[in-house]
Homo-oligomer: A and B are copies of this chain.
Amino acid sequence: MNHSNRTFKSWRLKERPLGEIKTTDLELVDDVIPEIKANEVLVRTIYFSLDPTNRIWMSDVDQYMEPVEIGDIMRAGGSLAVVEESNVEGVNIGEVVQGGMHGGWQEYFTIPESDIIKIPKDTGLPLTAFISVLGFTGPTAYFGLLDIGKPQPGETVVVSAAAGAVGSIVCQIAKIKGCNVVAIAGSDEKCDWLKNELGADHVINYKKENALEALKKTCTNGIDIYFDNVGGETLDAALTLMNKFGRIPVCGLISMYNDWSSVGPKMYRNILMKTLTVKGFLVSDYADRFGESLENLGSWVAEGKIKFKVDVVEGIENAPEAVNKLFSGENNGKLVIQTSKEP
């Protein structure tokens, strides 16, 4: 098919942000929809994920993958897309697939046959499940908590950004494993949801309470696992109260992403004093065990043991503004941009 008259929009990185992301740091451009080659499909984005790590990719600090280059399409941590044209046998128009690392902040793209992962049909789940709990954020919670945290029944698990896409799943898996769960979030509404809907044993609104003081009151037996999404003062508070042989899966350090000059935790010494294990991880490190995580997460969702929320913002034009909701805490569940209708 000749697309020379059809264009798609994408956000390209224009300048590296200083502090918070500004819409002017990116540029919304039109390009001609590409022709597909042999063994490729053309897909139209339905949803793409917005994640705190977008901010990392915009900086040229040394990081776990290459930063996005100036002028390149902004990378997305996952997307769902529908096949519009196919040169791949067995992949039909109208089928929904994962964008993987091919889909960024853009309306159209192509995927080679080797990278096509179809979304299962007739699961009874909303499609957005596959860009949240059954996308990347669920497995992130799963491997970080279970593989690094190694929770034991009765242990105390503290979760920061607990109402977020990853944190909310961590809280619920920790409950499934019989732990005492202390959830830290940034609003009373989120805290209520965590306590009343997700079953957290204790909740802390860090915007109202000092995290250290609140944790001291709540974690009367200390902290065995601190699942860190934020770094900063909350990390310091948790480090202060960790028990011997405690574990800290480092999933995110969002409080640092807008200011790389920030110092490290004052209580770093407790890594020695309490013989802690602090381990950074990426969900991609567990690629060969994705199946295991999706199977378990899928069962827990089906059994009603895991609930999830997706915060859908419509319109590609709103991506740069929407991503900042992750930093202010205004998002309400897994944040995604919807760029076209579900089929």
Query: A residues touching B (Cβ–Cβ < 8 Å)?
Result: 56, 61-64, 231, 240, 244, 250-253, 256, 260-261, 263-282, 285
Contacts and interface: CB of A to CB of B under 8 A. Distances in A.
A278 B242 CA distance: 15
A32 to B, nearest CB: 36
Nearest to A64: B273
Given A270-B280, A276-B280, 4 more contacts: A56-B273, A253-B268, A274-B280, A277-B278
A252 B271 CA distance: 10
B267 A275 contact: no
Nearest to A263: B263
23 contacts: A62-B240, A63-B273, A64-B273, A64-B275, A231-B268, A250-B271, A253-B268, A253-B269, A256-B269, A261-B266, A264-B264, A264-B267, A264-B268, A265-B268, A268-B268, A270-B280, A271-B279, A272-B280, A273-B280, A275-B280, A275-B281, A275-B282, A277-B277
Nearest to A268: B264
Contacts of A264: 263-268
Instruction: Specify which of A263, A278, A281 lies most central, judged by the most chain B CB atoms within 10 Å of its CB.
Output: A278
A265 B262 CA distance: 10
Given A273-B62, A285-B275, A266 B268 contact: no
